[in-house]
Homo-oligomer: A and B are copies of this chain.
Amino acid sequence: MISVLPVEGLPEIREGDDLGALISRAVALEDADVVVVAQKAVSKAEGRVVRLDEVVPGEQARALAGERDPRHTQAILDESVRVVRERAGFIIGEARHGFVCGSAGVDASNAPEQGTLVLLPLDPDASAERLRARLREPDGGQVGVVVSDSFGRAWRLGTTDVAIGTAGIRVLLDLQGSVDPAGYELHATQIAVADEIAAAAELAMRKLARVPAAVVRGLDVAGEGSAQELVMPAERDLFR
């Protein structure tokens, strides 16, 4: 059985907060637990926030803004290494880490205050590793960490939470070379288990109730891995 436990009772996260220590005080971790932390909380603790009144919109931002504040659009462009699609003020951007998502991860919702925008962590794998170093791990046991964010998808409505940073877990479970019971080789099957862990955690998080972390218990995914493994290499990307 797998359990997903919300981490309740956390305070509103502010810049400089020791998020790992706060989570350790709120929940007793067990061996092989995976702690999933919402990107918004990680970014706030890391101070990855910009004030709109510090952003000067350029020509491209004014052209693409639509009904949006052009400073908001400029912040999105500043976070994008590539604009993948844009329409009516909505931008799908490739962020510095290779992740493709709406507004390149720039988000005004659940920001610290009106007039601020929360950005993705600069290096979400490093964020996960730092969090892991601050979690009180069980005696003789180790835990994994996933930094998650809510991404839209091509062809499907609604967001699902995915992994943008990981530490201490395998990210892709590779079934290549396995043989199913009929003898058919599963040569194309890699499961994005880190994304499925993020999605499972979201079910317990309930965004509006300020539960920015959950523990997924009962998995067997301890190991080494980087969320960068989830980024489709350009040469295999049919949707550039």
Contacts and interface: CB of A to CB of B under 8 A. Distances in A.
Contacts of A99: 155
Interface stretch (A16-24, A57-65, A199-207): A199-207
Contacts of A175: 207-208
Interface residues of A, number: 68
Best-buried of A12, A192, A197, A219 by chain B (most CB within 10 Å)? A192
Interface in A153-187: 153-162, 171-172, 175, 178, 180-184, 186
B159 A114 contact: no
Best-buried of A2, A110, A158, A171 by chain B (most CB within 10 Å)? A158
Nearest to A116: B182
Contact of A192 (B4, B113, B160, B181): B160
Given A100-B155, A156-B195, A181 B3 contact: no
A111 B96 CA distance: 41
A28 interface: no
A157 B100 contact: no
B184 A110 contact: yes
A92 interface: yes
A196 B191 contact: no
A113 B210 CA distance: 50
Contact of A200 (B154, B180, B196): B196
Contacts of A237: 154-155
B182 A110 contact: yes
A162 B158 contact: no
A113 B180 CA distance: 10
Interface in A217-232: 219, 229-232
A177 B217 CA distance: 33
Contact of A157 (B85, B157, B232): B232
Interface of A: 1-6, 12, 85, 87, 92, 99-100, 102, 108-114, 150, 153-162, 171-172, 175, 178, 180-184, 186, 188-193, 195-197, 199-200, 202-204, 207-208, 210, 216, 219, 229-233, 237-239
Given A3-B4, A175-B208, A195-B199, 18 more contacts: A1-B6, A2-B200, A12-B181, A85-B239, A110-B180, A111-B182, A114-B182, A154-B239, A156-B192, A156-B231, A157-B172, A157-B190, A157-B229, A157-B233, A158-B172, A158-B193, A191-B202, A199-B200
